[in-house]
A and B are shown apart, each in its own frame.
Chain A
Amino acid sequence: MTALTYTLSDSATMLRRNLRRLQRYPSMTVLLVGMPIVFLLLFVYVFGGQLGTGLASGQSGRRDYLEYVVPGILLMTIAASVQGTAIVVAMDMTAGIIDRFRTMAIARPAVLAGHVIAAMIQTFLGLTIVIGVAIALGFRPTANPGAWLATIGILALFGFALVWLATALGLAAKSVETASNTPMFLTLLPFLGSGFVPTDTMQGGLRQFAEYQPFTPVTETVRGLLNGSPIGNHAIAAIGWSIGIAIASYLWALRLYINRQPR
């Protein structure tokens, strides 16, 4: 076998291991997928009537707000899912088995690749469930198949970036508790952007932050692709942010993994 086939085979082995671990520890996945669903229900049924009337196009309130809020909830789903990734990575790094892996001739990227691919699968599982719930609630996107593909592409790219970021945060954490806290800010970012209300309803510094932080262009791109609202430069910004975060986080994670001191 060549180095490449070893890398692929070891990564596949690690992926199988991580998926099995997720399966054995389902409460975390349920909790992390459940959170955005709870927020979806909360924002549509509790705040939706009021918030919907504030939207420019507002006619029927709640229904319009559902259309508006789904992209924000989808990003929240990614953020919640990668919080789990950070926890899983930290759990792994604080356990003895990682030292075993490091004394074996395993293809170097395999351990992290296994985590990242498993996290992507988990994230997409979460996104599928959340979209399913949204459709059950009456979400009717206008997107054609091409736009759906583009939506999946943007969510995958941004998810990939956040998965690497969470992997790095999980590696950087000294304990599992820390790892469950540090990525928490990611679940807040959809609120401090255009996820739940348009940024032009905000004031001063907050508005500026909301307009320029990475979640906003991604939200606007997904919203545009699903509902046909104008996308403009947001797509470029969304792709740029995703690639930037992915590369920086990947390099950070790799450095942390290679320089990691055993327990």
Chain B
Amino acid sequence: MSAAREPMIVASGVCKSFGDSVALNHVDLSVTEGTVFALLGPNGAGKTTLVRILSTLIAADAGEVRVGGHDVVHDADRVRERIGVTGQFSAVDDLLTGEENLRLMADLHHLGGNGRNRVAELLERFDLADAAHKTPATYSGGMRRRLDLAMTLMGSPSVIFLDEPTAGLDPRSRRTMWESIRELIATGVTILLTTQYLEEADELADQIAVLDDGLIVAEGSPAELKARVPGGHVELQFAAPEHLQAAARLFKTASADEHKLVLHVPNDASVPSLRALFERLDDARIDVDHLSVHTPSLDDVFFAVTGHTTAEDTTP
């Protein structure tokens, strides 16, 4: 039954330009209900523009977008009833307390008498109960994001957009935020998140699309994307040059570093191929001082598909 159902988010041929600069160039994407989809790309790739189009904030110049089966332009209010958006600029009212911010959301969702319980529940869940009567001006970056996310969840949305949910957070707050997002994933909602952090997409997403300069340049599960890139290898560290030379004769495709006494042997890091590697080393009686296995990271993927690293900072 679910196989026949339309995906929760469908975008086809989405284009958007701001003046002369093309932000999105025929973007297609499809997000299955109950999954996490990550849009990965550097600053200026078009991630935020795409989220704004998907969440009814701005209209695309061309293309069609449907969320939860409704068109984002013609049926914007139907879409708005189902979505929750947490932007990269925190969308909290700085002059209201944390509790009042949540209360405001409860009132706008017309929760009536249930609102009070829901406010208390969300304050508790996001560890904000102690700060409930303080304004967000006194909050840490992590607390602001948590309040922001709590406000997004007030209406129990079935589709959640998280635009760079951990940008600018310290590593500890980032971990806490990931925990919150994982709890959210467990409730079965559909999530589209954008991030510049490859680790974040790898940690959270079922499906990743790499967005670069307004184009989706690669798409797949984290594993599929990694599989597209060669670069898996085993690094062998030797104690003496003669051991290195002996090993280099054994593995013809390996590359040796004479100074560091290191040999990189291509290997897909599967158990049989590692076992085969060890057997050959044992047969040749070569002593290995230290060994490490390297699988390709999403950084490698990004570099392979875009020709530049994620660190590159283009204008937004």
Contact = CB atoms under 8 A, between A and B. Distances in A.
B93 A99 contact: no
Nearest to A25: B95
A95 B77 CA distance: 22
B151 interface: yes
B92 A20 contact: no
B217 interface: no
A30 interface: no
B56 A95 contact: no
Given A96-B89, A261-B58, A17 B96 contact: yes
Nearest to B81: A105
Contacts of A136: none
The main secondary structure of chain A at its interface with chain B is helix
Contact of A95 (B84, B94, B151): B94
Contacts of B155: 104
B89 A263 contact: yes
A263 B84 CA distance: 18
B113 to A, nearest CB: 14
B289 to A, nearest CB: 54
Given A13-B104, A99-B87, A100-B151, A6 B92 contact: no
A46 interface: no
A261 B81 CA distance: 21
Interface residues of B, number: 30
Nearest to A24: B95
Given A96-B90, A262-B52, A262-B58, A106 B95 contact: no
Interface string A80-110: 0000000000000001110111111110000
Contacts of A104: 80, 108-109, 155
B92 A97 contact: yes
Interface of B: 52, 55-58, 77, 80-81, 83-85, 87, 89-96, 100, 104, 107-110, 135, 151-152, 155
11 contacts: A9-B107, A13-B104, A16-B107, A20-B95, A20-B100, A21-B96, A96-B87, A99-B57, A99-B85, A100-B151, A262-B57
Given A10-B108, A97-B93, A262-B58, 6 more contacts: A13-B107, A24-B135, A99-B87, A105-B81, A262-B52, A263-B89
